[in-house]
Amino acid sequence: MALRGPAALGPGSRRPLDEAVAGAEGREAPALVAVGGAPEDDEEDDGRGRGLLRWDGFSAWLHCVCVVGFDLELGQAVEVIYPQHSKLTDREKTNICYLSFPDSNSGCLGDTQFCFRFRQSSGRRVSLHCLLDQFDKDIPVYLKKDPAYFYGYVYFRQVRDKTLKRGYFQKSLVLISKLPYIHFFHTVLKQIAPEYFEKNEPYLEAACNDVDRWPAPVPGKTLHLPIMGVVMKVRIPTCHDKPGTTQIVQLTQQADTNISVILPTVHEVDIFRCFCPVFLHSQMLWELVLLGEPLVVMAPSPSESSETVLALVNCISPLKYFSDFRPYFTIHDSEFKEYTTRTQAPPSVILGVTNPFFAKTLQHWPHIIRIGDLKPTGEIPKQVKVKKLKNLKTLDSKPGVYTSYKPYLNRDEEIIKQLQKGVQQKRPSEAQSVILRRYFLELTQSFIIPLERYVASLMPLQKSISPWKSPPQLRQFLPEEFMKTLEKTGPQLTSRIKGDWIGLYRHFLKSPNFDGWFKTRRKEMTQKLEALHLEALCEEDLLLWIQKHTEVETVDLVLKLKNKLLQADREHLPVKPDTMEKLRTHIDAIILALPEDLQGILLKTGMT
């Protein structure tokens, strides 16, 4: 197939994408089609009618779709990659093969859904994903794409089939994406996978063509996404949303007749179902995740291991978990040796495993959660106990949290009573999840607000910003200075939980999560200083300034101002649109005040 997708894009390909984003609102209406109907399009509307190349719309959501089957001679093998021009290295294909099937001991009969995450091979060419990074600036930090990883969303089917030599039909339909929209992609698979197993490749091609017509995944917009006769209504969160709320609007029944599926979330899992066996220890697990401690989840199946790992990562939201996490990890994973070696301390990572072999291989890890089968909604399993690590010999060990960790904070008995009461009253799992999610949110916010307050104090005063000097630097983060602020403005202002908060902060300041959080905040604040510097420049009378300076100094000023404009665009600085326009006007006015020969040279140095 001719290369007409992301790899064909050159450096000048941003403009069509910009047009596509700008036109997203106008494209929502055609997406509202009657179930089973087709959109009313021009014959050109296969993606190119929107100013995009073929498959660019698809690439905004997915890298590719894979079908993994079982070959008696080869074992697991990638049978289909679609679109055909999609690039996967041999190492990536091997990882996908092994991660797309449950371990043989899991005994998953019927249909199973789960998720995995794997490291991208180094040296990949720039793709449309990099151009779509402009959407990332409005996305909450915990939903931003990680350029080093892919997600795999799996729909695995295993059923008896006497016509096959092996006696079973075993196949997985896998969506490979950079986007961590777990709930959304699992819903997509529920819609298309069962029918794909009956109709094969032509059906898959039609589904991919539908995805290629989707509007871009713009945060904050309500999107209508048709796929194989079903229309999904979703909204990707923005960093401006109030944490813990869902912004999707339930329209009137009359206006919603064409909508088949409304998703209140794109990324959240059923957190109560996952924490249900261990909710007595949920606060301790929150601490372990917050501190980036090495953590293993041993589960009977990939769906349980992946859901639990994702729930753990999600429990410190809106903080981003900055270390690696693998919702489903196998002995064939390319990082197996790196993560199981005994020659060094276990890395800061959360692993979800199902193979009994890991009970022996990961015995030296400090924190292990062993869970049994997750109960259906409405049932509650027996609560597991915290046990000593030496008691964990095999995967047949009883469920429990195996650790010698002593929590810094006292256990909040109120949340436990509230959840136990909900179980007794048969409160729906969704409602229990809302309670638990709110509890984690309030706990995380109580912890992070003092840090936010202190970091904000590192920002220089606005009056210290001079248009004729480089923007001032942020003050240094001093741990002891921060600790002193906790006495008056610590978490006790917003949380009822007692305990050694100071100890928890000291430990956190040494963790990868603090490092990632502070780097993000420092970058945001530095960009804010750059934006304020730009605004200060715009308020100056630059024409008066050039009258007092030489032509050489004036040319130098024009070049610096142009660089400022490029930087503002490249780094998405938080600059008001009218500031940018003012700066362009200033540049044009300065150039026109120069001799003609210099005007020609400066106009050629770039668009203003």
The domain covering 271-510 belongs, at the CATH homologous superfamily level, to: DENN domain, C-terminal lobe (3.40.50.11500)
pLDDT band at 443 (very low <50, low <70, confident <90, very high): very high
549-594 per-position pLDDT tens digit:
888 888 888 888 888 888 888 888 888 878 888 888 888 888 888 8
pLDDT above 90: percentage of residues in the chain: 45
User: What CATH number is given for 56-216 in this structure?
Assistant: 3.30.450.200
Could you tell me the CA-to-CA distances from 539 to 194, 470, 530, 531 in Å, in that order? 62, 16, 15, 13
Could you tell me the CA-to-CA distances from 171 to 158, 177, 510 in Å, in that order? 7, 19, 44
Query: Which of 105-114, 180-189, 486-495 is the least confident region?
Result: 105-114
Cβ(313)–Cβ(321) below 8 Å? yes
Phi, psi angle pair for 230, to nearest 5°? -115, 140
Rounded to the nearest 5 degrees, what angle is found at the Cα of 65, between the Cα atoms of 64 and 66?
A: 120
- Residue 165 is predicted with a pLDDT of 74
55-84 per-position pLDDT tens digit:
888 999 999 999 999 877 778 899 999 998
Nearest to 335 by CA among 561, 87, 84, 119: 119
Q: Quick check: pTM over 0.85?
A: no
pLDDT band at 47 (very low <50, low <70, confident <90, very high): very low
4-44 per-position pLDDT tens digit:
333 333 333 333 333 333 333 333 332 222 233 333 333 33
pLDDT above 70: percentage of residues in the chain: 81
Instruction: Please report, for the chain, the start and end positions of each structural domain, with discontinuous segments joined by +.
Output: 56-216, 271-510, 541-605
79-94 per-position pLDDT tens digit:
999 998 899 999 999 9
Give the highest mean pLDDT range of 139-153, 276-290, 503-517.
Answer: 503-517
Please, is 462 exposed, middle or buried when counting C-beta atoms within 10 Å of its C-beta (0-12, 13-18, 19+)? exposed
DSSP of 367-387: EEEE--PPPPTT--PPPPEEE
- For CA atoms 533, 535, 540, 545, the dihedral sign is positive
